[in-house]
Amino acid sequence: DACDCKSPARFLCLAPPAAQAPHSSLVHMFAAVSRAFGAPDSSFVASVGADNSWLLDSAAALGSLRHAEQSNQPLVLLGTAFMFVHLLDTLAQDDLSITLPPDSRVMETGGYKGRSRELPKTELHALITSRLGLPPTAIVCEYGMSELSSQAYSLFTLHSSLPFRFPPWARALVTSPETGREVADGETGLLRI
């Protein structure tokens, strides 16, 4: 479940809808989890530009954030690091802060891909905390898509010694960079998770 609340949380995806980005595995994942776990009014608040860049609809994002704050309905905010930078820059420009309801979550998936200024993760998360009124424990990180063969998710607890938890199907293999095949015991290669 996305949160421990009685009714489903609304999912707000800082990404274009699947119809505009049909080949994006990230958009597909956002759409799948929104359908499976989100409230019916979950939405996407970006579009694809002529150069294939993702353009945040700041007014729609801000409207959804304000609605969550006023209705006290938990919100699950999903986006890439660069889209969070665009959102946070908009909030900073207008000197705005939102207090998202309890049980709200942020899922930040890594990567700037040259689409915004880059921030260290600790600074990005501190800005999310200060501008959206969420404790650091409400921020979940997901890395995968291009970095790994399977995704890894940060844990919700502060008491875990592991920064990420992999799903049960994940395996660590040492592979040959030339062939992509697993190497024999004792041979060197690239670690593939």
* SS3 annotation, the chain: CCCCCCCCCEEEEECCCCCCCCCCHHHHHHHHHHHHHCCCCCEECEEECCCCCEEECHHHHHHHHHHHHHHCCCEEEEEEHHHHHHHHHHHHHCCCCCCCCCCCEEEEECCCCCCCCCCCHHHHHHHHHHHHCCCHHHEEEEECCCCCCCCEEECCCCCCCCCEECCCCCCCEEECCCCCCECCCCCCCEEEC
Burial class (CB in 10 A: 0-12, 13-18, 19+), 94: exposed
pTM > 0.85: no
Per-residue confidence (pLDDT) for residue 6, from 0 to 100: 60
Rounded average pLDDT over 174-184:
91
Instruction: State the virtual CA torsion across 158, 71, 39, 104 in degrees, nearest 10.
Output: -10
Asked whether 116 and 85 are in contact (CB, 8 A), the reply is yes
Rounded average pLDDT over 127-155:
76
> Residue 150: pLDDT band by 50, 70, 90 thresholds?
low
Rounded average pLDDT over 77-103:
95
> Residue 45: pLDDT band by 50, 70, 90 thresholds?
very high
Per-residue confidence (pLDDT) for residue 149, from 0 to 100: 56
Rounded average pLDDT over 51-80:
95
Rounded average pLDDT over 111-126:
82
Q: Is the model's pLDDT at 21 over the cut of 50?
A: yes
Rounded average pLDDT over 69-84:
94
Per-residue confidence (pLDDT) for residue 154, from 0 to 100: 59
Q: How far is CA 149 from CA 86, 140, 178, 181, in A?
A: 28, 19, 17, 14
Task: Please give the mean pLDDT across all residues of the chain.
Answer: 85
Rounded average pLDDT over 89-109:
94
> Residue 24: pLDDT band by 50, 70, 90 thresholds?
confident
Of 113 and 71, more confident: 71
Q: Is the model's pLDDT at 147 over the cut of 80?
A: no
Q: Which residues contact 167 (CB under 8 A, 6 or more apart)?
A: 150, 151
Rounded average pLDDT over 45-50:
95
Per-residue confidence (pLDDT) for residue 159, from 0 to 100: 42
- Percentage of the chain modeled with pLDDT above 70: 83
User: What phi, psi does 162 have (nearest 5°)?
Assistant: -105, 130
Residues in the chain, total = 193
